[in-house]
Amino acid sequence: MLSLLSPVEVDALMLSLKVAFWAVLCSFPFGVMLAWVLARLDFPGKSLLDGLLHLPLVLPPIVIGYFLLLILGRNGFLGKILYEYFGVSIAFTWKGAVAASAAMAFPLLVRAVRLSLDAVDTRLELAARTLGAGPWRVFFTVTLPLAIPGIIAGMVLAFARSLGEFGATITFVSNIPGQTQTLPLALYTMTQVPHGEGAAMRLCLVAIVIALLALIGANWLEKRFARHCEG
C-alpha cells in the first residue's frame, strides 16, 4: 500500500501513526486514573471536573489549540519554562501534535474506561479486600482485568480520534510538511491544490483502512481477554 503513495503522503501517514501512538500512550495512565476517580469516589466539585473533562468534545478544536499555544508556546507560562531551562520546544513540532491529539482524545478514553469501571461489580472488590488484598492489588488483579474491554475500546477511540485530529493540531503546530503535517493536514492540503484529488482520495482510503484495522484488532483483543477471564 505504501508503494502507491508519494513520499509526502508516506511521511504524513507515518507521522500520524507516530503521533496517535504517543498520544494514547502518554494519556493512558492519566485516563485510567481519572476514570477510576470519577467512577469510585465522591467529592465536592466532581460534576465540575466531569464537565471540564468533556469540554474538548463540545468546544471547537481551534479553541483547544489556541489554549495549548497559550500554555505550551514559547511565550506560554509552561512552554517558556520548558524552553528556557530545558531547551524543549513543544509548539510547531511533532511533540505539539501529540499534545493536541491527546487533549482532544482524552475525554473519549476516560469516558470509555469509566463506563467499564461502573460495570464492574464492586462486591468483587470488597470480597478481595476482606480476603486481605490491599487497594493496589485489588485494582490490578480484580478491577483492571474486568474493565479490560472498556479500556481497549477507550484506547481504540483515542487512537482513532488522534489519527483524525485536525483543528487543534493546525492551530498549535501549523501545517509543516515532514514535521507537523499529519494525515488530515495532508488531506486538507491536497484538496487545496490543483489536481490534488487523486492524492486526497488515496489518503482517504488509507485513513479508512487504518480505522477498520484498529476496530478489527480491538474486537479480537476483547474476545481474547474475555476467553482468558472465563478460563
| Residue 107 to residues 57, 102, 210, Cα–Cα distance (Å) | 7, 9, 22
- The model scores a pTM over 0.75: yes
What the block records as the C-alpha cell of 57 is 468534545
Q: Which CATH superfamily is domain 16-181 in?
A: MetI-like (1.10.3720.10)
Could you read off the pLDDT of 34-88 as tens digits, one per residue?
A: 999 999 888 898 999 999 999 999 999 999 999 999 999 888 889 889 988 888 8
Looking at the predicted structure, is the pLDDT value of residue 164 above 70? yes
